Structure 1
Amino acid sequence: MSENLLEVTGLQKHFPITKGLFKRQVGAVRAVDGIDLAVRAGETLGVVGESGCGKSTAGRLFTRILEPTGGRITFEGRDVSHLSTAALRPFRRDVQMIFQDPYSSLNPRHTVGSIISAPLQIQKIPTPQGTKKAVQELLELVGLNPEHYNRYPHEFSGGQRQRIGIARALALRPKLIVADEPVSALDVSIQAQVVNLLDDLQSEFDLTYVFIAHDLSVVRHISDRVAVMYLGKVVEIAERDALYASPRHPYTVALMSAVPVPDPSRRDRAQRNRVLLTGDVPSPINPPSGCRFRTRCWKAQEICATEEPPLVPRAGDPASHQTACHFPVVEGEAVQGRSPAGASA
């Protein structure tokens, strides 16, 4: 898993804010504002962060559903940042997306067979045994009945619809799949089934995943590495076990402390260790200078307001564990802002 399949450098996506009759631009929402990432072939890279941090926008940039404002996207060594629609067609065969909402990502007027066969027809991929047979095999692969070929999306449950979305993404046998919160709209028991299905498919087809989620427990189960985003930036990235055992960025520490603990015997201790952040998330229209987390950080000092910390390995960490913080948290350090015993998480 040493070869990088996808690399992004300085990636940006700014959505313009216009005003008046002539749509004069008066500002921009900096959804993604300069991220550097590499996705290794065969791995699962988890991307986590609270709502509005830009992780879903980043996923749409990786798949080139959105045109980047700045930066560079490289896939298998080829720059795909600003390709035309026609030039993107071969890229679409190798990179697919599973969308968050299984209820809105499937066209209600089309049958399941039509939905899953659409990528094959658009890419003009020959199917020796016929398109219907190929679609039925895909349905069986994701745990659905081949007889569902002629049914419509409204006849399925949420979990079944998400399986249809997975089958559509697999139709072209891609190398990279970006899964944008694929289980967040599903019941907990169904979430486990879908996550296990993705795991099995990865082993069978040698897939590479970018798994976007806000559920840290799910990310821990499925990911090899984890990137943490805050307000359009990656603030920490590390191997899964290293990140969960020793988070370095104060924001990551706060996120980890918010993970619900199912064991009642450990719940009181978890509540005592809960880090409560003060203040609101700054606006992506006008983010703070320097470190973007400094307005909510208990370790912020003067340098945090003037210099943006680079995403680099900190003292004592391996090269794979990178943190964008001037004063990273060290193991055993006392953390301010912890809630008192019995406080609500």
Structure 2
Amino acid sequence: MTDLRKHFPITSGMLRRQVAAVKAVDDISFSVRKGETLGVVGESGCGKTTTGRMIMRLLEPSAGKIVFEGHDITHMKQRQLRPLRRDIQMIFQDPYSSLNPRHTVGAIVGAPFRLQKVKTEGGIKKAVQEILELVGLNPEHYNRYPHEFSGGQRQRIGVARTLALRPKLIVADEPVSALDVSIQAQVVNLLEDLQDEFGLTYVVIAHDLSVVRHIADRVAVMYLGKIVELADRTSLYESPMHPYTNALLSAVPVPDPDKRKGRERIRLQGDVPSPLNPPPACRFHTRCWKAQEICKTVEPPMVELKPGHQTACHFPENAPAGAAETVAKSAAL
């Protein structure tokens, strides 16, 4: 993804003229390596789901470029995208609304085979039953309907549908947020096992940083349509550089009472600004305790301050000596 943007127009009047735009995603760039899991985290409304839907081409980007295995898919027509759907699939957030209640499990999980006209040895029913068994469901569930299952089981049905054609990339949009904690662990472990078995690549969108820490190799932190920090899991969780990342991590529950006592909770002041009219320069400066005048006038560039650790902040924390000078030089360019 290069310089990716998605602006939703706001129109007015009988002629439906555009008067403004909601800047849901505004100029972000990142890559996903084969076989890895990239976590995308941030507050609600920061643009995570919009980013995932653009990767899937369920939304048309306003600008930027999406390249998958060397092929530019940014503006592919639906007819051209159909074969690509075999390689890129999505796990949706809500297991209650993402399954058609009028269809049986067999029809839901078997739909990809029929839509892509894929023939399987032994027929679609046998293939579907094998996939159900793979995700921890009984093959006899083939003729049942979604309302007969629990939330965790429904999410497994969604995972089974996603896996039907053995995709290469899976975008998981908060795959466990609607589930109980014990069921969350089961689904996360299932995703990890499937990744090991089939060599899958994941983009996991979540607001639960504990889940992301468990499953992700690298983590991208989004705020108001921008990526403000991108690093490998260990570096980001142990030495976050962006103040916003620090604030998010300070809110993660700690089960150890002794560690919890000596921990400082960072409470952000004010509400998240509207993506309709985001603050100029650094979008976080209205809530940041480190903000200075430059933060209101100059947008901080995304700079690699440690190997593999990038952040967009004029005054990064936990940064090596000379980091401020490096950011200043990049901003001047």
- Fold match (TM-score > 0.5): yes
The 2-side partners of 1:236 and 1:11 are apart by 16
Partner of 1:47: 40
The 2-side partners of 1:324 and 1:293 are apart by 10
The 2-side partners of 1:120 and 1:57 are apart by 27
The 1-side partners of 2:193 and 2:109 are apart by 20
Q: Per-residue deviation at 1:225?
A: 0.4
1:310 to 297, 301, 312: 301
The 1-side partners of 2:235 and 2:89 are apart by 29
Question: Which range moved further: 300-309 or 164-173?
Answer: 300-309
**What SS does the aligned partner of 1:11 have?**
strand
The 2-side partners of 1:117 and 1:174 are apart by 15
**What SS does the aligned partner of 1:40 have?**
coil
**What SS does the aligned partner of 1:93 have?**
coil
The 1-side partners of 2:318 and 2:217 are apart by 23
Q: Per-residue deviation at 1:330?
A: 2.4
* TM-score of the two chains, using structure 2 as the length reference: 0.95
Q: Per-residue deviation at 1:331?
A: 6.3
Partner of 1:157: 150
Alignment partner of 1:283 is 2:283: no
The 1-side partners of 2:266 and 2:190 are apart by 34
Structure 1 residue ranges (4+ consecutive) displaced by more than 4 angstroms after TM superposition: none
> 1:329-340 residue pairs with structure 2 within 5 A?
329-330=317-318
Partner of 1:112: 105
Partner of 2:235: 242
Alignment partner of 1:298 is 2:289: yes
Q: Per-residue deviation at 1:265?
A: 2.6
Letter in 2 for 1:19: S
Partner of 1:321: 309
Q: Give deviations 1:14-48, integer Å, cap 9, x for gaps.
A: 11111222222111111111110100000000000
The 1-side partners of 2:102 and 2:21 are apart by 36
Q: Give deviations 1:237-257, integer Å, cap 9, x for gaps.
A: 001000001000000010010
1:196 to 183, 189, 194: 189
Partner of 1:274: 265
Partner of 1:336: none
2:87 to 86, 94, 111: 94
Letter in 2 for 1:283: S
Question: Which range moved further: 41-50 or 258-267?
Answer: 258-267
Letter in 2 for 1:102: P
The 1-side partners of 2:215 and 2:153 are apart by 20
**Contiguous gaps of at least 5 residues in structure 2:** 321-333
Partner of 1:223: 216
Partner of 1:5: none
Aligned CA RMSD, in angstroms, stands at 1.2
The 2-side partners of 1:137 and 1:88 are apart by 27
Q: Per-residue deviation at 1:264?
A: 2.2
The 1-side partners of 2:12 and 2:105 are apart by 42
Letter in 2 for 1:162: Q
Letter in 2 for 1:84: K
The 2-side partners of 1:180 and 1:20 are apart by 35
Give me the identity figure in percent. Answer: 73
Q: Per-residue deviation at 1:266?
A: 2.4
The 2-side partners of 1:56 and 1:147 are apart by 34
The 2-side partners of 1:266 and 1:324 are apart by 29
> 1:62-211 residue pairs with structure 2 within 5 A?
62-211=55-204
The 2-side partners of 1:253 and 1:234 are apart by 15
Partner of 1:22: 15
Q: Give deviations 1:298-319, integer Å, cap 9, x for gaps.
A: 11111111111111112xx11x
The 1-side partners of 2:262 and 2:119 are apart by 59
Question: Which range moved further: 36-45 or 260-269?
Answer: 260-269
Letter in 2 for 1:329: E
